[in-house]
Structure 1
Amino acid sequence: MKKIEAIIRKSQFSEVKKALHDVGVNFFSYWDVTALGNERIGKVYRGISFSTADIQRRYLSIVVNDDFEQITIDTLIKSAGTGEVGDGKIFVYDVNETYRIRTGEKGGETLR
């Protein structure tokens, strides 16, 4: 099993959520986060100056069986990508075991 963490643009979240559901990833957690990006210039929008150093993003935590790892990654890249700086990052970790609290069941079946 794999844990896939992704930091994406908030504006892409609806598209990412739909794309993940379309490929069969029906459960994941997400949080609104503030990230520190590489771009450190100030911008002016409608006469108001603001810093682009702190950027609002959405953090997704997804656990999938090994056979869904690449499908999930490809879906995230395709649906979250805009081709611009700041599209985000994906991190992949091994998961040793999962348990369903309600039944005590363990293993990959708990993800379905």
Structure 2
Amino acid sequence: MKYDTKDIQDRVDRYISQFKEGYFSPLSLQARLTEEVGELAREINHRYGEKPKKSSENEKALEEELGDVIFVLTCFANSLNIDLSDAFEQSMSKIETRDRDRWTRKEGENNHESN
């Protein structure tokens, strides 16, 4: 099944809402997000970097680690009543404007701005 950001935010909210504790505080969520990004970085380093895994370490899929980052990021957004689609749109608008001429375009490629 494919999810858009609203689906993701709704599913995470349904899951978290079943627990009395609810969402963690923003500071705890930031710490957890940092932890998950670190786990992603570790997996990337093992796979593409110079640091091999110990024989006792299990192989983790990058998809699993990215999924963990998305889950915690979604918890963060939900806890602060931030719509991820709106946040993404703001970010892309900024990047498409700021970095419009920053990189060398491929020959024949048009500017792919949103509608």
Shorter-chain TM band: under 0.3
TM-score, scaled to structure 2: 0.25
Larger radius of gyration: 2
